[in-house]
Amino acid sequence: MALIVQKYGGTSVADGERIKNVAQRAIRAKEAGNDVVVVVSAMAGETDKLINLANELIPLPDGRELDVLISTGEQVSVSLVSMAIKSMGHEAKSYLGYQIPIKTDSVYGRARITNVKPDKIVKDIKGGKIVVVAGFQGIDDLGNVTTLGRGGSDTTAVALAASLKADECEIFTDVDGVFTIDPNVCEKARKLEKISYDEMLEMASLGTKVLQTRAVEFAKKYSVPVHVRSSFNDNTGTLVCQEDEEMENVAVSGITYDKNEAKITITKVPDKPGIAHKLFGAIADANIRVDMIIQNVSQEGLTDITFTVVKTDLHKATNIVREIARQIGAKDINTDENIAKVSIVGTGMRSHSGIASTMFGALAREGINIMMISTSEIKISCVIESKYTELAVRALHEAFQLDKKPFTKDGSMPTP
């Protein structure tokens, strides 16, 4: 007998029929002999509706009160799912964040879980109940309602799974799992059977939106096996788990892209100590997150610095950079919004050589110019012209033969 935590997103509980489906699926898992804890999000669109309600009243609603407001979305869902399960003849009980409690810090709107007390849930599941928990919400030490930020229900599910020492945390979503590439862009996209936590982190933060980054970090920290799968069919999805030998044999697991960034270049910056600190300190003070930073070796005491920010921050960042450029005597500023970042991600990169050159070669063969390059242990990213994005990722998918199952038996890697 296993203990399973199932998390259902907003589209899975969007209406009465789907709520009944969720109830049936939970009951199937229960009747198969498992203990079942269900975590649900707000019905699709509900959180946005509540935020709009607040924004129509006040442009900048108070953080504490906004969390009181939007946490009602999950409260509605847990009650409906519990009712549905009970109407089907099984015992069920809903829990809100404070009832468990799921303790968090006091950062309204993006609180972090600090502690989960599983005792009441353990008692209920031992008593035969299916427990239904409100995702996304918690309570701080002073008893205030908090919420965990977009996608926070994933983190609720993983945190519960960790505290309950669950055998698996199933994340039900509207896709079949994690793919080697966005299936909307490349029809040869292949569903991954397994992916490591680290790869998933790079995939998620790079724009594959199936799982909240914080949930993956949590899963990694407590070694919770996470099964990402569709709530609309019974197919096996993708298991997010600890790195194993098999994975290390695969150089590249997936390809991602991000069209949401813009780049800023400052030309002919005097190459003196403290310049970078001054520039990026000012940007950080304005709460702007910088992604890639490139500074090449200087010529004649002058250098160029290029970095990327999310597009919505471009205007604000440019104003700051202009002022700093004036102060430090840099020559000029260029900005470019028509860029995309394409990345290859793979745990096996650590032990395989030639990966970068395969990537650059694939892009070159399509005549795509690389503007910036950034590498980490398990990821290589290139910034290119935005219009080439789809062409680039398809070329990379092809180059690393991601449509084929990797040859893992003999440790050999498919190469072009």
Considering only the stretches 58-66, 184-192, 287-295, 360-368, report the one whose residues sit in contact with a copy of itself under the rule CB under 8 A.
Answer: 58-66
CB of 52 to a copy of itself, least distance (A): 11
> Per rule CB under 8 A, is residue 13 in the interface with a copy of itself?
no
| Signed CA dihedral, 190, 193, 199, 202: sign only | positive
363 φ/ψ angles, rounded to the nearest 5 degrees: -70, -40
> Per rule CB under 8 A, is residue 323 in the interface with a copy of itself?
no
CB of 358 to a copy of itself, least distance (A): 53
C-alpha triplet 340, 294, 341: angle, nearest 5°: 15
> Per rule CB under 8 A, is residue 242 in the interface with a copy of itself?
no
Tokens of residue 90, six digits: 């099984």
> Per rule CB under 8 A, is residue 370 in the interface with a copy of itself?
no
Using the minimum distance from each CB to a copy of itself, give the nearer residue, 54 or 239. Answer: 54
Using the minimum distance from each CB to a copy of itself, give the nearer residue, 76 or 373. Answer: 76
Unique residue bearing structure tokens 């008893």: 143
- CB of 226 within 8 A of CB of 158? yes
Using the minimum distance from each CB to a copy of itself, give the nearer residue, 97 or 348. Answer: 97
| Signed CA dihedral, 77, 12, 132, 128: sign only | positive
Using the minimum distance from each CB to a copy of itself, give the nearer residue, 3 or 50. Answer: 50
Q: Sketch the per residue contact string, 61 through 100, with a copy of itself: x for CB under 8 A, - otherwise.
A: xx-xxx-xx-xx--xx-xxx-xxx-xx----xxx-x-xx-
> Per rule CB under 8 A, is residue 52 in the interface with a copy of itself?
no
What is residue 364's three-state secondary structure?
A: helix
For a copy of itself, which residue of 53, 284, 286, 364 counts as binding (CB under 8 A)?
53
> Per rule CB under 8 A, is residue 58 in the interface with a copy of itself?
yes
Among residues 287, 305, 284, the alpha carbon closest in space to that of 296 is found at: 305
Using the minimum distance from each CB to a copy of itself, give the nearer residue, 50 or 185. Answer: 50
Size of the site for a copy of itself (CB under 8 A): 37
Residues comprising the chain, all counted: 416
Q: What is the CA radius of gyration of the chain?
A: 24
Sheet containing strand 254-258, strands side by side: 254-258, 339-345, 379-385, 372-376
- CB of 376 within 8 A of CB of 398? no
For a copy of itself, which residue of 89, 143, 273, 274 counts as binding (CB under 8 A)?
143
Q: Restricting to residues 95-114, which ones interact with a copy of itself according to CB under 8 A?
A: 96, 98-99
Q: What is the DSSP string of 210-259?
A: TS-HHHHHHHHHTT--EEEEESSS----EEEE---HHHHT-S--EEEEE-
CB of 125 to a copy of itself, least distance (A): 17
For a copy of itself, which residue of 14, 54, 293, 333 counts as binding (CB under 8 A)?
54
C-alpha distances (whole Å) from 238 to each of 68, 169, 263 are 34, 12, 34
> Per rule CB under 8 A, is residue 260 in the interface with a copy of itself?
no
Sheet containing strand 137-139, strands side by side: 113-116, 102-104, 137-139, 145-147
Tokens of residue 263, six digits: 């780049």
CB of 111 to a copy of itself, least distance (A): 16
CB of 122 to a copy of itself, least distance (A): 16
Number of C-beta neighbours around residue 32 at 10 A: 11
CB of 103 to a copy of itself, least distance (A): 15
> Per rule CB under 8 A, is residue 169 in the interface with a copy of itself?
no
Considering only the stretches 13-21, 166-174, 347-355, 391-399, report the one whose residues sit in contact with a copy of itself under the rule CB under 8 A.
Answer: 13-21
Using the minimum distance from each CB to a copy of itself, give the nearer residue, 90 or 316. Answer: 90
33 φ/ψ angles, rounded to the nearest 5 degrees: 100, 10
| Contact footprint for a copy of itself (CB under 8 A) | 16, 19-20, 50, 53-54, 56-58, 60-62, 64-66, 68-69, 71-72, 75-76, 78-80, 82-84, 86-87, 92-94, 96, 98-99, 143, 145
